A and B are shown apart, each in its own frame.
Chain A
Amino acid sequence: MENKASLYKGRSRYSEMKKRDIKERIYRGLVFVGVIGIWYFGAIRIDSPLLLPTPMAIAKALVSSVTDPEILLNLSITMKRVLKGFLYALLAGIPIGYIMGLSELAEKLLGGIIDSVRQVPIMAWVPLTIIWLGIGDGPTLFMIALSGVFPIILNTMQGVRGISKDYYNAARSMGAGPLSIFVNVIIPASIPDVLTGARIAVGTGWMSVV
């Protein structure tokens, strides 16, 4: 009886969700068409492919570049770079984030340096990294990693800081030692924030690949 009722409720909620989904898609399509329309009429009015090309011209260019093997090759190289830089950022950022989240002292010691270094615009690093690492993949990877490492550190730290004290107390009162608390409480409780940091890091990585 209870099962049937909840099943029914579940189904109606599902169909409701589907309805909302369709509505959302229609709206999104309308907005897209609207923007393209404004663009199109604007381009016709200005009538200069240099100032504002029409949407059709852009679409043609997109198709030809996506099918160009050279561009695809370069794209794959760029993707590899971003991925590599991102891995370095994870490797450095996650441990630092955990240490800073767990130790007030580490946060005080490192917090100031990290906060000031991260204010430096990423492009300002270009000359310095070329001197350090030469021309080639080095500087690019360094900058991708550098731009990604801060969101990873900060989010990981925030994630560790945000863990409810009750979880620690509960674990201790059940006999857990520091290692077990780290493995069974701190890591699983902070993973969502670590992933948020990682997601932001991929984004900043793309932006600093140039």
Chain B
Amino acid sequence: MELTVDAINKTFISNGNINQVLKDISFEVDKGQFISLLGPSGCGKTTLLTIIAGFQKPDSGSIIVEGKKVVKAGPDRGFVFQNYALFPWMTVKDNILFPMKQIKMPKAEREERLKVLLEMSQLEGREGLYPHQISGGMKQRTALVRALATKPSVLLMDEPLGALDFQMRQSLQDELEEIWLRDRTTVVMVTHDVDEAVYLSDRVIVMSTNKGQIVEDMNIELDRPRNRKSIEYEKYKNQLTIALTKASPEMTED
């Protein structure tokens, strides 16, 4: 098992109120699987992702990546931030090289990998530019290949296309899939977009606002690239939309 999420609990205390965001969350992800965490805002999906990344600790429970328990952030788990978090003081090239330098990859290998990554993300010729000089789509691709640079066991993505408009989003979904298909890294992606989840994922886990529990765990068995107009595609979308409605706060009043 590539990634095991085992009985994760997390509560936040704000203004004296105890708010349980994650309750007993457990699931396992196979090697090479692309899974999405889908849910309304406030369901704790991003919190779970940052716990897997090691950015914060759960109150109880554990995360296991390739047999090793996660205690802190590390290069075995690449992370793509919603706002990219590219270093604005480094060029595209230096941003991508940064993780490889951190793990002390030999220079020749580094340069070789950089070439592959630039080609993969169609950023050749742009590597000397700074993040503020490139478009949103290019920033997104830079962030993606930067996270993949060290060949992590798991790639974590927090609404990676959330900051982009609809058309850009669809074309980047294709690019994302293309890049992912190259080495089929195990992926956990957080999204609130049903269509994005069905289009990209092998499996979708729906989380609810009510104490952050899993309300649906569905495999998407469709060939890639997926046809958005097919009947099966629509069927998956409908099922997930229903699950998402159930997961929203209005429906879970107690």
Where the two chains meet, the residues of A that have a C-beta atom closer than 8 Å to any C-beta of B are: 164, 166-167, 169-177, 180, 184-185, 188-189
Residues of chain B contacted by A177 (CB below 8 angstroms): 102
Answer whether A173 and B78 are a contact pair too, CB < 8 Å, given A166-B83, A180-B102, A184-B98: yes
Which of B17-25, B67-75, B159-167, B239-247 interfaces with chain A? B67-75
Closest residue on chain A to residue B156 by CB atoms: A173
A-B contact count (CB 8 A): 59
A166, A175, A180, A188: residue with the most chain B Cβ atoms closer than 10 Å: A175
Is B77 a contact partner of A173 (Cβ separation < 8 A)?
Answer: yes
Q: Could you tell me which residues of chain B, from 147 to 203, have a CB within 8 Å of some CB in chain A? A: 147, 149-150
State in angstroms the CA–CA spacing of A169 and B156 once bound together. Answer: 13
Is A169 a contact partner of B53 (Cβ separation < 8 A)?
Answer: yes
Residues of chain A contacted by B147 (CB below 8 angstroms): 173
Residues of chain B contacted by A185 (CB below 8 angstroms): 87
State in angstroms the CA–CA spacing of A166 and B73 once bound together. Answer: 12
| Residue B27 at the chain A interface, CB threshold 8 Å | no
Q: List 26 A-B contacts (CB under 8 A).
A: A164-B85, A167-B85, A169-B50, A169-B73, A169-B81, A170-B79, A170-B81, A170-B87, A171-B102, A172-B54, A172-B72, A172-B73, A173-B53, A173-B55, A173-B73, A173-B79, A174-B75, A174-B149, A174-B150, A175-B74, A175-B75, A175-B102, A176-B102, A180-B102, A185-B87, A188-B89
Main secondary structure of the interface of B (DSSP, over half): loop
Closest Cβ of chain A: how far from B157's Cβ, in Å? 12
Is A174 a contact partner of B146 (Cβ separation < 8 A)?
Answer: yes
Answer whether A174 and B102 are a contact pair too, CB < 8 Å, given A169-B55, A169-B73, A188-B89: yes
Where the two chains meet, the residues of B that have a C-beta atom closer than 8 Å to any C-beta of A are: 50, 53-55, 72-75, 77-79, 81, 83, 85, 87, 89-90, 98-99, 102-103, 146-147, 149-150
Is B87 a contact partner of A166 (Cβ separation < 8 A)?
Answer: no
State in angstroms the CA–CA spacing of A63 and B85 once bound together. Answer: 55
State in angstroms the CA–CA spacing of A169 and B103 once bound together. Answer: 16
Residues of chain A contacted by B75 (CB below 8 angstroms): 173-175
Answer whether A166 and B81 are a contact pair too, CB < 8 Å, given A188-B89, A189-B89: yes
Residues of chain A contacted by B103 (CB below 8 angstroms): 175
Is B102 a contact partner of A170 (Cβ separation < 8 A)?
Answer: no
5 closest Cβ pairs, A-B complex: A174-B99, A175-B75, A175-B102, A172-B73, A166-B85
Kindly identify which residue among B50, B89, B99 contacts A175, using a CB–CB cutoff of 8 Å.
Answer: B99
State in angstroms the CA–CA spacing of A185 and B79 once bound together. Answer: 17
Residues of chain B contacted by A170 (CB below 8 angstroms): 79, 81, 85, 87
